[in-house]
């Protein structure tokens, strides 16, 4: 169980860092789409200078998750969920789905002007 929990930490860290990296750009757009307005929405752009730091942290966490899923040998006790090959397959599928979503979040600020005019 501890092995499964430690495998989820890098992926969760990457998700949180990517959300923080895209908060300055995606956050106001989502809030405006939901009908939330006001001058305080513009304050979310105050995080823009920290965006490169958040992107770096996201890439580090994604690398740690990739490393744990593909490069580090697994040491599992027979009969545990860790030893089941479908568990590793599901973790890898989840990793790539999350990686694609994070890539979309990270690229959004550069693509948004092209899409939104």
- Give per-residue pLDDT as tens, 7-49: 567 767 767 776 776 666 666 666 666 776 666 666 666 767 8
Q: CA-to-CA distance for 117 and 115, rounded, in angstroms?
A: 6
Higher-confidence position of 15 and 78: 78
Q: CA-to-CA distance for 79 and 76, rounded, in angstroms?
A: 9
Residue 1 confidence class, pLDDT cut points 50, 70, 90? very low
- How high is the pLDDT of residue 5? 58
pLDDT at 2 over 60: no
Q: Indicate the burial class of 78 (C-beta count within 10 angstroms; 0-12, 13-18, 19 or more).
A: exposed
Residue 80: both structure tokens together: 């545990």
Contact in structure between 58 and 17 (CB atoms under 8 Å): yes
- Cβ neighbours around 18 below 10 Å, total: 26
Residue 86: both structure tokens together: 């479908």
Section 69-85 average pLDDT: 84
pTM higher than 0.85 for the full model? Answer: no
């Amino acid at each position: 169980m501890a092995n499964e929990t430690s495998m989820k930490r890098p992926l969760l860290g990457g998700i949180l860092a990517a959300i923080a990296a895209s908060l300055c750009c995606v956050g106001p757009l989502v809030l405006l789409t939901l009908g939330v307005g006001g001058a305080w929405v513009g304050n979310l752009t105050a995080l823009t200078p920290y965006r490169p730091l958040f992107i770096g942290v996201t890439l580090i966490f994604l690398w740690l998750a990739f490393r744990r899923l593909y490069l580090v040998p697994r040491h599992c006790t027979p009969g545990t969920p860790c030893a089941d090959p479908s568990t590793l397959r599901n973790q890898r599928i989840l990793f790539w789905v999350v990686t694609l979503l994070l890539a979309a979040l990270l690229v959004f600020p550069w693509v948004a002007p092209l899409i939104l005019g």
